[in-house]
Amino acid sequence: MTRLRFRVHAVIQMEERGIDASDVRAALENGEDIEVRPNEHPYPARLVVGMCSKGTLHIAVRDNLAGDEIIVETAYWPDPMLWEPGYRVRRRRP
């Protein structure tokens, strides 16, 4: 797998949420992109949904293709009130 780099913000939030690096790696390995923003700078951005041993994760990443690394910006447990079942589509707001 491509090298993972975790932003400080991501590490702090992951610790608060009970998510560790192995959870993120597992979810990225079996995950799928649910939002893609290829034109963002400095690197293309994606939101990935994937499974780890603790459940479903969302991981916001940026792809540094030249550096062969994935930069993890944050990871969180998706809120079922905000996402349709399967956590791939956002719920419409009333």
pLDDT at 94 over 80: no
- For the chain, the farthest-separated pair of C-alpha atoms sits apart, in whole angstroms, at 42
pLDDT at 5 over 80: yes
Structure confidence by residue, pLDDT tens digits, 51-85? 999 999 999 999 999 999 999 999 999 999 999 99
pLDDT at 1 over 80: no
Domains of the chain with CATH codes: 3-76 (3.30.2310)
Residue 93's pLDDT is: 76
Mean pLDDT of 26-38: 97
d(CA 28, CA 58): 9
Q: Residue 87, SS3?
A: coil
Residue 50 pLDDT class (50, 70, 90 cuts): very high
72 in Cβ contact with 2 (< 8 Å):
no
Cβ burial, residue 68 (10 Å; 0-12/13-18/19+): exposed
Residue 34 pLDDT class (50, 70, 90 cuts): very high
